[in-house]
């Protein structure tokens, strides 16, 4: 495939994915942040190949052809994967806030592709947390672990809770 065509297809894929997610999110507060993330990712998809384009040179002879092939930029793929995982982590934090668990910091380890997000481990830092459970006799660590596992659709054993007392 022509590198330019691959670049254009990548741009279109990010734009279409952004539109679909935007439609699913609706006019919520979180939807505003999702649109911002996808706008940033779209700009990066457009801009990141440009330095290699000018560095490797190009010739214009009826159609735009790059003289040397553009290698797939693994750093960019890792960056976009990290952005998606960070966005999902903020979603977990918002979900916990709905259960009166505020001030937690969630980090996710995993991979994110265009088709799916796979979370290997979720780390919940409770160091600055303010927790107001409905039942004072509840095991808070177990409760938070269960909520996070349900939200991410992972096994509860993959949720690591870091308590500020350690």
Q: Is 51 helix (H, G, I), strand (E, B) or coil?
A: helix
Closest CA to 93 of 136, 140, 125: 125
Q: Is 65 helix (H, G, I), strand (E, B) or coil?
A: strand
Closest CA to 161 of 121, 125, 119, 107: 125
Same domain, 161 and 104: yes
User: Does the pTM exceed 0.85?
Assistant: no
- Structural domain of 157: 94-166
Q: Which CATH number fits the domain that encloses residue 163?
A: 3.30.300.30
Same domain, 138 and 103: yes
pLDDT value at residue 73: 64
Q: Within its chain, how far is the Cα of 161 from the centroid?
A: 21
Distance, first Cα to last Cα, the chain:
54
Q: Are 114 and 10 in contact (CB under 8 A)?
A: no
pLDDT < 70 regions, the chain: 1-3, 52-74, 164-166
Domain count, the chain: 2
Q: Are 56 and 70 in contact (CB under 8 A)?
A: yes
pLDDT value at residue 53: 62
């Amino acid at each position: 495939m022509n590198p330019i065509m691959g670049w254009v297809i990548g741009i279109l894929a990010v734009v279409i994915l952004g539109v679909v997610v935007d439609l699913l999110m609706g006019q919520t507060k979180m939807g505003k942040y999702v649109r911002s993330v996808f706008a940033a990712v779209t700009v990066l998809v457009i801009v990141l190949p440009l330095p290699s384009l000018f560095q490797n040179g190009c010739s214009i002879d009826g159609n735009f052809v790059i003289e040397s092939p553009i290698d797939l930029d693994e750093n960019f793929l890792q960056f976009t994967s990290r952005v998606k995982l960070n966005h999902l982590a903020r979603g977990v934090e918002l979900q916990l806030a709905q259960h009166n668990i505020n001030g937690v910091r969630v980090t996710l380890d995993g991979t994110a592709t265009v088709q799916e997000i796979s979370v290997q481990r979720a780390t919940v830092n409770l160091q600055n947390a303010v927790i107001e459970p409905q039942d004072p006799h509840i095991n808070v660590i177990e409760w938070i672990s269960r909520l996070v596992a349900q939200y991410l659709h992972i096994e509860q054993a993959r949720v690591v809770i870091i308590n500020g007392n350690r």
